[in-house]
């Protein structure tokens, strides 16, 4: 009987820790950013990454000091021409969409983000049949790995802190 109680206790503890990551949710008023590659060919994935980095750098500069989603929306809408100008530097057909767009589920550093329609800026390259990249543009979670080289636990704590700040 003691072994059964210990076993059940372990299952509950493991379940709590596994579900703890489910509590790290992107706020409903978040704005996402997604770039979809033309295909999965190496050249298209490399192009996706280059475009992502250029656009992300500009958007981060515009949004880094923004404290509320209304201001973030306004800045993004007013600066879509900057995104378009960046895209003109590349030899690729593209579509820029700002509004409610579909996102597939994503598991990143042990956190699962659910699929659905989300307010977002989406850049589709060519046919848009390749692997995509996405992040949360507001609150500003896009540049976490590049800027901070965070470990999993640090990432989860930082994400929780940022989400709570803007929630």
The string of pLDDT tens digits covering residues 86-126 is 999 999 999 999 999 998 888 777 777 888 999 999 999 99
Average pLDDT for residues 6-26, to the nearest whole number? 50
The string of pLDDT tens digits covering residues 55-69 is 999 998 999 889 899
Token pair, residue 161, equals 């802190």
Lowest-confidence pick of 34-38, 81-85, 118-122, 141-145: 141-145
The domain limits of the chain are: 30-162
Residue 153 has pLDDT above 80, yes or no: no
Q: Is the separation of the CB atoms in 31 and 120 below 8 Å?
A: yes
Residue 146: what pLDDT?
Answer: 44
Looking only at the bridges linking them, the beta strands covering 94-103 and 116-125 are: antiparallel
What whole-number percentage of the chain has pLDDT above 90? 51
Residue 53 is given by DSSP the state: H
Alpha-carbon distance of 147 to 120, in angstroms, equals 22
Alpha-carbon distance of 167 to 28, in angstroms, equals 8
Average pLDDT over the chain reads 79
Average pLDDT for residues 33-39, to the nearest whole number? 96
Q: Is the separation of the CB atoms in 90 and 53 below 8 Å?
A: no
Burial zone of 34 (CB within 10 Å; 0-12 exposed, 13-18 middle, 19+ buried): buried
């Amino acid at each position: 009987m003691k072994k059964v109680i210990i076993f059940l206790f372990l299952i509950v503890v493991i379940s709590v820790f596994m579900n703890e990551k489910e509590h790290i949710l992107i706020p409903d008023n978040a704005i996402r950013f997604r770039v979809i590659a033309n295909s999965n060919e190496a050249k298209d994935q490399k192009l996706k990454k280059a475009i992502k980095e250029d656009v992300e750098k500009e958007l981060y500069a515009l949004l880094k000091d923004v404290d509320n989603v209304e201001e973030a929306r306004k800045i993004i809408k007013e600066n879509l021409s900057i995104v378009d100008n960046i895209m003109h530097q590349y030899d690729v057909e593209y579509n820029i969409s700002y509004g409610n767009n579909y996102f597939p589920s994503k598991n990143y550093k042990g956190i699962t983000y659910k699929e659905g329609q989300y307010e977002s800026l989406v850049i589709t390259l060519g046919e848009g049949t390749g692997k995509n990249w996405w992040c949360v543009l507001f609150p500003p979670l896009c540049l976490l790995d590049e800027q901070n080289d965070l470990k999993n636990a640090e990432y989860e704590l930082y994400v929780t802190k940022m989400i709570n700040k803007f929630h």
